[in-house]
Each structure stands twice: as C-alpha cells, then as structure tokens.
C-alpha cells in the first residue's frame, strides 16, 4: 500500500525551509500532497493560486524526487482533505520549541478528529531562522529576500515592486 502524506501550510510565500522539509518528506513517503491552506489568523501577501504556482515552480527548479502534487484547500477541516485523498500522515517542519508548542495541539486534534498522525521534520538548521512572515516583512520594505526563498519566489517578489 502506498503511503501518502500531506504537507499543509500557508506558504505565503514558500521558503527554502519549506522546500527542505518537502524534499526530506518526498524521500520518505510514496506520494506527497503539498497543500496551501488559508490561515484566517494571518494577513495574506499572495493569493492562494499564486502560492500554489510558486511552489510548483520551486519544486520543478529544485528537481525534487518522487510524486509531489501541489494544490489548495479552503473548505472544511484539513483532515477532511486527508481522508478524501487517502492520506494518513501530516508532515510539519519544526524549527524550534516555539514550533513544537504551536503544532502539538493541532497534531493531537487532527489525530482525535480522524486518526491522522503528524510527523515533525527538522529542516537544515541553516534555515532555522527563516519564516514566511519575515520574508513578507523584508519584501514589503524593499529588502533582498533571495537568501531565504526559492529563486522563483525571489524573482516574483522582485517583479512585483
Ligand atoms: O503555515 P501555517 O499558517 O502555520 O499553517 C497552519 C495550517 C494552515 C496548517 C493550520 O491553520 C490548519 O491546519 N488549518 C486547517 C483548519 C483545520 O483543520 N483546523 C482544525 C485542526 S487543527
């Protein structure tokens, strides 16, 4: 039986840290669904469709291995998507204890809701300080975000100036 995992997040925009986790997960699971989810608690920079497109470009540019699809989800629970596609695992990147504290309650709730387990993955420590919110702030103030994001994202943000 093929093991399907979902990598959910806002990805606003996708960072090198996200891409690192996606690559590690792609080497473990048979099939990966990178899922862009609207987070109502955050003020968005990019439309959802743009985030999907940039992740697709980044994955293609990096020539990541395995079966990876990129899509979005806006109706209902995250675990409903998992059930729909036959995924039993969620993958979350963990940079620090702050992320563990943020992710743990969601992992327990997702397990209780639908038996979906969460796997925490550690990105390369080189990306430990990188977050989408930092990228949004630096980009909005005219700074160079190229050390933190895939080339496709840096080019897009540059073109938007
Ligand atoms: O990148 P983010 O913003 O930290 O991602 C958070 C996200 C989108 C994964 C989280 O908000 C989420 O799981 N939303 C789906 C709504 C849901 O199913 N909530 C109930 C279980 S936690």
Q: Is 8 in the pocket of ligand 1 (CB under 6 A)?
A: yes
Prediction pTM value: 0.97
Q: In this prediction, what percent of the chain has a pLDDT beyond 90?
A: 92
**What distance in angstroms lies between residue 120's CA and the mean position of ligand 1's atoms?**
15
Reply yes or no on whether the pLDDT at 3 is more than 90.
Answer: yes
pLDDT attached to residue 40: 86
Q: What is the mean pLDDT of residues 120-136?
A: 96
Q: For ligand 1, atom 19, name the residue with the nearest CA.
A: 77
Which residues fall within 8 angstroms of residue 49, CB to CB, at 6 or more apart? Answer: 72
What DSSP assignment string belongs to 65-94? -SEEEEEEE-SS-HHHHHHHHT--EEEEE-
pLDDT in tens, 21-74: 999 999 999 999 999 999 888 889 999 999 999 999 999 999 998 899 999 999
Q: Is the pLDDT of residue 1 over 80?
A: no
User: What's the CA-to-centroid distance between 119 and ligand 1, angstroms?
Assistant: 15
The answer to whether 10 touches 130, Cβ cutoff 8 Å, is no
């Amino acid at each position: 039986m093929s093991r399907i995992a979902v990598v959910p997040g806002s990805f606003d925009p996708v960072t090198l840290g996200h891409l690192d986790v996606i690559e590690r997960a792609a080497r473990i699971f048979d099939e990966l669904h990178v899922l862009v989810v609207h987070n109502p608690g955050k003020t968005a920079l990019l439309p959802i469709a743009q985030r999907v497109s940039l992740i697709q470009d980044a994955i293609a540019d990096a020539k990541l291995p395995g079966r990876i699809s990129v899509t979005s989800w806006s109706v209902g629970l995250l675990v409903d998507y998992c059930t729909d596609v036959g995924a039993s695992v969620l993958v979350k990147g963990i940079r620090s204890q702050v992320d563990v504290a943020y992710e743990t309650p969601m992992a327990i709730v997702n397990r209780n809701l639908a038996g979906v387990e969460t796997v925490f993955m550690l990105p390369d420590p080189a990306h430990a300080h990188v977050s989408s919110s930092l990228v949004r702030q630096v980009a909005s103030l005219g700074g160079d975000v190229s050390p933190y994001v895939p080339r496709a994202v840096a080019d897009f943000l540059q073109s938007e100036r």
